[in-house]
Amino acid sequence: MKLNAAYGQLPPAFFFTEIGARVAAYRADHPHEKLLRLGVGDVTGPLSPVVIEALRRAVGEQSRAETFHGYLPETGTDFMKAAVVSYYGRRGVALSPEEIFISSGAADDLGAIGNLFSTDSRVLVAEPAYPAYVDTSRMAGRRVLPLLGTRENGFLPLPGDDLDGDLIYLCSPNNPTGTAYTRLQLQRWVDWANERQAVIVFDAAYEAFVQDGDVPHSIYELPGAETCTVEICSLSKTAGFTGMRLGYTVVPQALTREGCSLHDMWTQDRTTRTNGVSYVIQRAGEAALSPAGLRYNREAIAVYQENGRILADALTKAGLWFTGGRNAPYLWLPCPEGMTGWAFFERLLREAQIVVTPGEGFDAGGAGHVRLSCFGSREDTAEAARRLRTVF
């Protein structure tokens, strides 16, 4: 019996537990202070009325033998795939339903997409990053080469002529830095991948937050992306579905390597490793991507976008350099005076009763930074902005 030795080499997943413990300890000592939570990467809900109505209808169908749904296609129902096709069509991206794979959320597909590649593939990860890209790669025994976001490159690393790798994870708009590649910048990655026969895994989970016209929502808005990119997305932030679990992955039929169709390989992977997503959740997703659902989502997101403006304004007035707050629900800033993210976390907690996320939770290049999130209420965010300006 030999276990997968890579697991033992990963750091324990204590990060958010540690934040929770520190916050709880502070709260126990200061029971009357109001804490403002800018650390959370979660939506506050509720779901839109049109989604609730679709859920109720689907539950009703499951209550009667004549309308009951058992096993569904592993890669998604026709109606949910059609909803995603239409969602992409609004931005001029023409996908076929077969190219869309409905999932229980982006995390699940990010956890499995690496299966398609040889374990000796060289994996590039634009960092700091959501830890799953690096962790799942290491769990499979793959070598990870960090591609560092820095203040100099505006936390948007780009490929140089000498950059080499087989697989690259890009997240734009970015968690945790809040940055987003423009069309011109992202085109450089597409061209690089096509030239090198590399594959881009593009995490588009925050696409619904894009406000600037020169920032693409989907990488498929760019010519050539269909021959080099797998795009993974989620309704978590688009439609407040973090607790509902629904996402999708696009693997274009034009994406081939070494004479093999990655689309066919992913079909094989999904039909073998999963039995698809709940009927009622897929009906909820269809409703979330309907015109009425999208209108509601836009209004919900506008609240978070306004929070981003409020926080960005406060940091600007305090004379601080930061990224994000415009095309993504996060702001990212270097800690003052060379502090670690954890030290600055403690300072903001003690001096301003604000909870942020230390950059140390986002792999290479994250240390010495903190992430602020825009998912709080308007009132709490405005109060946090006031307190931030008193700290600086």
CB count within 10 Å of CB 125 equals 26
Q: Which of 2, 92, 152, 184 binds a copy of itself (CB under 8 A)?
A: 2
Q: Which helix (H) or strand (E) holds 152?
A: none
**Does residue 62 belong to the site contacting a copy of itself (CB under 8 A)?**
yes
Hey, is 101 helix, strand or coil?
strand
- Identity of residue 263: H
Half-sphere exposure of 377 (CA within 13 A, CB side): 6
* Minimum distance, C-beta of residue 382 to a copy of itself, in the bound complex (Å): 18
**Does residue 37 belong to the site contacting a copy of itself (CB under 8 A)?**
no
**Does residue 10 belong to the site contacting a copy of itself (CB under 8 A)?**
yes
Give 255 or 384: the residue with its C-beta nearer to a copy of itself.
255
Contact stretch for a copy of itself (CB under 8 A) within 30-38, 112-120, 323-331, 359-367: 112-120
For residue 301, the 8-state DSSP code is H
CB count within 10 Å of CB 214 equals 11
**Does residue 274 belong to the site contacting a copy of itself (CB under 8 A)?**
yes
**Does residue 118 belong to the site contacting a copy of itself (CB under 8 A)?**
yes
Residue written as token pair 């979330």: 288
**Does residue 56 belong to the site contacting a copy of itself (CB under 8 A)?**
yes
Contact stretch for a copy of itself (CB under 8 A) within 183-191, 238-246, 287-295, 319-327: 238-246
Q: Which helix (H) or strand (E) holds 296?
A: helix 291-317
62: closest CA among 254, 291, 280, 282? 280
**Does residue 71 belong to the site contacting a copy of itself (CB under 8 A)?**
yes
**Does residue 96 belong to the site contacting a copy of itself (CB under 8 A)?**
no
Q: Which of 107, 232, 355, 370 binds a copy of itself (CB under 8 A)?
A: 107
**Does residue 245 belong to the site contacting a copy of itself (CB under 8 A)?**
yes
* Minimum distance, C-beta of residue 69 to a copy of itself, in the bound complex (Å): 4
DSSP string, 329-376: SEEEEEPGGG--HHHHHHHHHHHH-EE-EEGGGGSTT-TTEEEEES-S
**Does residue 99 belong to the site contacting a copy of itself (CB under 8 A)?**
no
Q: Which of 148, 265, 318, 343 binds a copy of itself (CB under 8 A)?
A: 265
Q: Which of 21, 52, 94, 391 binds a copy of itself (CB under 8 A)?
A: 52
Give 71 or 321: the residue with its C-beta nearer to a copy of itself.
71
For residue 225, the 8-state DSSP code is G
Distance CA 215, CA 181 (A): 6
**Does residue 131 belong to the site contacting a copy of itself (CB under 8 A)?**
yes
> Mask 300-339, x = binds a copy of itself (CB under 8 A)?
----------------------------------------
For residue 196, the 8-state DSSP code is H
Give 277 or 333: the residue with its C-beta nearer to a copy of itself.
277
Say if residue 22 is exposed, middle or buried (CB neighbours under 10 Å; 0-12, 13-18, 19+): middle
**Does residue 379 belong to the site contacting a copy of itself (CB under 8 A)?**
no
Give 287 or 356: the residue with its C-beta nearer to a copy of itself.
287
**Does residue 159 belong to the site contacting a copy of itself (CB under 8 A)?**
no
- Identity of residue 236: S
Q: Find out whether 169 and 201 touch, Cβ atoms under 8 Å.
A: yes
* Minimum distance, C-beta of residue 272 to a copy of itself, in the bound complex (Å): 5
CB count within 10 Å of CB 69 equals 14
CB count within 10 Å of CB 375 equals 20
* Minimum distance, C-beta of residue 56 to a copy of itself, in the bound complex (Å): 6
Hey, which residues between 161 and 200 contact a copy of itself (CB under 8 A)?
166-167, 196-199
- Identity of residue 319: G
**Does residue 105 belong to the site contacting a copy of itself (CB under 8 A)?**
yes
**Does residue 243 belong to the site contacting a copy of itself (CB under 8 A)?**
yes
Give 63 or 390: the residue with its C-beta nearer to a copy of itself.
63
Say if residue 380 is exposed, middle or buried (CB neighbours under 10 Å; 0-12, 13-18, 19+): middle
